[in-house]
A = this chain, B = another copy of it.
């Protein structure tokens, strides 16, 4: 239950904003517990994109007619909205990409390949999503750099002492997740950037699992890059954001070439456009930027404090209810967590759990969650995960508990 009165009202209403939730799966009401993989979309977001296509669409930039002007203004406004949302200093620091993965690849290609040399080092943590491992491995392989890995404490928190000890004169970058997509752990980013900056090392923060759940202020965090995907924060697929400090972005070479990222093209030489255009070659995901704008409006209308209170209350409820199930084991007990619970139940394989729960309309995720190094370090072949969104309710937890008892019965 929410601590605040308006929190309670919110919980009763919110569900109805999401058309997809109003359906039966295998004859049972859908209980969607996989928001960390991708959130559902409120009507307001879907309608903003439909409205755009039905009234305002044209290619942006360089259009000299009304529709193109409208589309350009809407696209610019979306960028400004993102800037406010994460409190960037300037809209020039907001680069639109397809998602978290492309954002990290952009940083690895442009910043990485221009700055790193053989023997240099990159620090990541063992709890990273593959998106924040593989691009650095590919970069390391291509320039001859090395990757150092921050281990975890048994609680699921980062081993901060070990982290501080990993720096060397060759450390060139720290790439770390704001919140773990498996354990839910929220990492102490301000401390992490302070330590890195003391060594003059920039920090890239993977905010994919943080932006839907926390107030993010990139200036306060003092991170150098911050990346996230719209589809995990109630926005559309096909768009995400790379935030970078302006001075850093300005010194980085472009990555992709094409229209709009150039000032002038000739066969004897090409000059590049200023930020953010330099990193946005080609026709961008225009409708998707407008959908992201609507998603931020939606989040801020409800209010991040209300969302956080709601999710904290739901997590507390879930911990009590789930903890009562015999054989239920929580994976990851960090103090600060987003609405993600990884667990095992008896010796039941998560995949069997998932199949059985699905027949009760309950959607959970099972496997390595694109975080194989973490799951392997836990000594488990796979884990089950439930994750909450703004629309999740106590009734969802109740259904899950009932479903897990049914799982035990089927496999008894």
Contact = CB atoms under 8 A, between A and B. Distances in A.
Interface of A: 19-20, 23, 25-26, 30, 32, 34, 37-38, 40-41, 45-46, 49-50, 53-59, 62-68, 98-102, 104-105, 108, 129-131, 133-135, 137-138, 147, 149, 229, 231, 236-239, 254-262, 264-267, 270, 281-288, 351, 354-355, 357-358, 362-367, 370, 372-373, 376
Contact of A101 (B30, B259, B288): B259
B134 A261 contact: yes
A64 B130 contact: no
A382 to B, nearest CB: 11
A34 B254 CA distance: 29
Contacts of A372: 264-266
Given A98-B282, A258-B101, A363 B38 contact: no
A99 B282 contact: yes
A364 B66 CA distance: 10
B30 A285 contact: no
Contact of A98 (B19, B49, B98, B259): B98
A32 B99 CA distance: 32
B130 A258 contact: yes
A134 B102 CA distance: 20
B373 A267 contact: yes
A135 B238 contact: no
Given A19-B55, A98-B285, 6 more contacts: A34-B58, A38-B58, A65-B357, A65-B362, A134-B258, A238-B287
Q: Secondary structure of the A side of the interface?
A: mixed
Contact of A130 (B67, B108, B265): B265
B367 A34 contact: no
A236 to B, nearest CB: 6
Contact of A53 (B41, B131, B281): B41
B138 A30 contact: no
A34 B53 contact: no
Given A236-B287, A285-B237, A355 B134 contact: no
Contact of A67 (B32, B135, B258): B32
B363 A65 contact: yes
Contacts of A53: 19-20, 40-41, 45-46, 236
A17 B40 CA distance: 28
Contacts of A25: 65-67
A225 to B, nearest CB: 15
A273 B10 CA distance: 43
Given A23-B55, A285-B238, A358-B65, A133 B98 contact: no
Contacts of A45: 53
A37 B63 contact: yes
6 contacts: A34-B58, A65-B354, A105-B281, A135-B258, A237-B283, A285-B288
A210 B231 CA distance: 31
The 4 closest A-B pairs by CB, nearest first: A101-B282, A134-B257, A238-B285, A238-B238
Contacts of A236: 53, 287
Contacts of A101: 256-259, 281-283
Given A20-B54, A57-B40, A68 B257 contact: no
Contacts of A138: 254, 257
